[in-house]
Structure 1
Amino acid sequence: MANNGYDVVVDVDDEGDLGHTDLADLEFHPSNYNQDQASGKIPTSASNTGGFFGGSSGSRGNDPNSKRFLWSMDFYAQFFDVDTNEVLKRCWAALFPRANFLDVLDDNPDLYGPFWITTTVVLILFLSSTIAQYFARAKDEPYVYDFGLLSGAAGLMYGYTGVIPVALWGVLKWYGSESANLLEFLALYGYANLIWVPVAIASASPITVLNYLFVGIGFGVSASFLFRNMRPVVSATDANSRILLLAMIIALHAGLALAIKILFFAHGSPVAKKPEAQTGDAGRSRSF
């Protein structure tokens, strides 16, 4: 029975026992619930359930009633809603793919794994290239650590991992794709960087042929990973646009691989500063 405009009040004794409640003992008091509902107000009991962020969100942030704002921690927490086991599972799926990686994400893409993977690649690129430059120098030439390699690695990896997914997402949105998801693209490119960790370690070798081989393997593994997972997404476009987008994805990734090889594991790297040659009376040729 709907109590239109009334609240039911039941007396309970001190021991919490309802005892025998007779209908004659029920008291009805006027209620303004219907007026609040008609005016769009939320009852007090319902408005306090959401906490400070205006609604309790699920583990995947799919609660339609939750409100997140750019200045709230809850907005950024949803991008890091993973545990260690989940990150390791995604890393394994990136190196040894058996299913579509977007299915592995299970509608819960994260930025935790991509951030730390890219940061690890930056540090290892700096360390490995420093070792490679150290062994490539002349024996009598002093070696000075060049932190320009670190800033170069950070600019290359963070720029590529952040800019390319955003640009690709914008292009697909311009084509009218409804399946394009920016967070999934960022996660996809971030986890694709994982292969560069062992490649960067192995590329510290002074043998140029092996360096090209290692970088080629890294390019093949990561490019096939991106191609396999991006092909269903770009299929929303027409045939010509689909081929063009996939070709651009592979070409840009090839540019990343070449940049890693040339800038960090090649003799005479453009981002590595050569120590200034010491000049003095002993080094000058005298003519009479």
Structure 2
Amino acid sequence: MANSGYDVVVDVDDEGDLGHTDLADLEFHPSIGYNADQASGKMPTSASNTGGFFGSSSSNNRSGDGSSKRFLWTMDFYAQFFDVDTNEVLKRCWAALFPRERFLDVLDGNPDLYGPFWITTTVVLILFLSSTIAQYFARMKDGPYVYDFGLLSGAAGLMYGYTAFVPIALWGVLRWYGSESANLLECLSLYGYSNLIWVPVAIASASNITILNYVFVGVGFGVSALFLFRNLLPVVNATDAKTAKILLVLIIAIHAALALTIKILFFAHGSPVAKKPEGDAAAMMF
């Protein structure tokens, strides 16, 4: 009966005689903890790991098996960072665009890299397509337009580099200054989802109207910077007051540099990363 999740209690008399035990006297008590774990397909709570690989967060505790048994060269090690479904990713995307609560609360101790990877990849492709369309209309009167895939590599280097190295550097600085709440996976997830605003911004910035491009990029910077500031403020404040102020200024300044780079490289009448016809460099407009 143990396979059905029941504990068997048998009444035994003082002499220890089981010979006259009636089956009617057997009492079956459901094992609640076992049934809950068995129905959900999870290991019992006592067998789960409680340690975090990237910090104090419990983000790696949902996989059931001990993370100490996962190695960098195994797929199981990386699978734990993609432990989300489509509905959860959509919920997080919505929370990134229209934040009603802190995004770290939305993550609920389970930050992921699935959403950040595909969001950043989408931004790279949209930047390439939108900037190509903008330059096509800007130069269509000058002759046949030659597609430049240097824009694609430029977008990939910019977005992947920013989304990966900036949060890693921030996490390292926070840990250096004693912030116990700093978590690498949460930093990567936070920066990855903050890129979502650049998808509509890149689409809207395909126009050759310079002032509109500045407005769209400015809106993208404002929304994403506020998102990062709001969620990183409690973590940064775990350091001393002077360090916290410096870090917040650097976070906003680096993010502003990203927005300005996007505007100059991809939404100008002649991108510096694109091949320009001879004599066109002097006519480049920002």
**TM-score, length of structure 1 as denominator length:** 0.75
Residue by residue over 1:127-184, the C-alpha shift from the partner in whole angstroms, topping out at 9 and shown as x without a partner, is 0000000011151322100000000000000000000000000000100111000000
Q: Which amino acid aligns with 2:246?
A: L
Structure 1: gaps (5+ residues): 1-19, 23-49, 278-288
CA RMSD of the aligned region, Å?
2.3
Superposition map of 1:207-246 within 5 A: 207-246=209-248
> Which residue identity does 2:193 align to in structure 1?
Y
Aligned to 2:169: 167
Q: Work out the CA distance in 2 between the residues paired with 1:182 and 1:260.
A: 26
Higher helix proportion (structure 1 or 2) = 2
Letter in 2 for 1:89: K
* Residue 85 (structure 2) aligned to one of 83, 86, 93: 83
Per-residue CA shift, 1:261-288, capped at 9, x if unaligned?
Answer: 00000122110101458xxxxxxxxxxx
**CA–CA separation in structure 2 for the residues paired with 1:269 and 1:60:** 41
Partner letter of residue 148 of structure 2? D
Task: Give the total of aligned pairs.
Answer: 229
Aligned-partner residue type, residue 203 of structure 2: I
Query: In the alignment, what sits opposite 1:70?
Result: 72
Aligned 8 A contact 1:110 1:183 in 2: yes
Conservation of the 8 A alpha-carbon contact between 2:93 and 2:196: yes
User: Where does 1:20-31 land on structure 2 (aligned, <5 Å)?
Assistant: none
In 1, the alpha carbon distance for the partners of 2:59 and 2:232 equals 23
Question: Per-residue deviation at 1:64?
Answer: 7.4
3-state secondary structure, aligned to 2:142:
coil
Distance 1:117 1:137, change over 3 A: same
Q: What's the TM-score, normalizing by structure 2?
A: 0.75
Give the share of equivalent positions with the same residue, in percent.
80
SS in 2 for 1:165: helix
Q: 2 CA distance for matches of 1:65 and 1:131?
A: 50
**Cα distance change, pair 155–238 in 1 and its aligned pair in 2 (3 A):** same
Q: Is the 8 A contact 2:48 2:65 kept in 1?
A: no
Q: Indicate conservation of the 8 Å contact 1:143/1:275, yes or no.
A: no
Matched with 2:32 is none
Return closer, same or farther for 1:164/1:211 CA change in 2, 3 Å cut-off: same
Number of the residue aligned with 2:184 = 182
Is the contact made by 1:144 and 1:275 (CA closer than 8 Å) also made in structure 2? Answer: no
Larger CA Rg, structure 1 vs 2: 1
CA distance 1:136–1:103, shift in 2 (3 Å)? same
Within 1, Cα distance between the matches of 2:236 and 2:186? Answer: 14
Cα deviation, residue 73, structure 1: 1.6
Q: Which runs of 5+ in 2 are unaligned?
A: 1-16, 20-41, 51-57, 280-286
In structure 1, how many angstroms separate the alpha carbons of the residues matched to 2:270 and 2:142? Answer: 17
What is the alpha-carbon distance in structure 2 between the residues aligned to residue 133 and residue 246 of structure 1? 36
Paired with 1:131 and 1:57, the residues of 2 have a C-alpha distance of 51
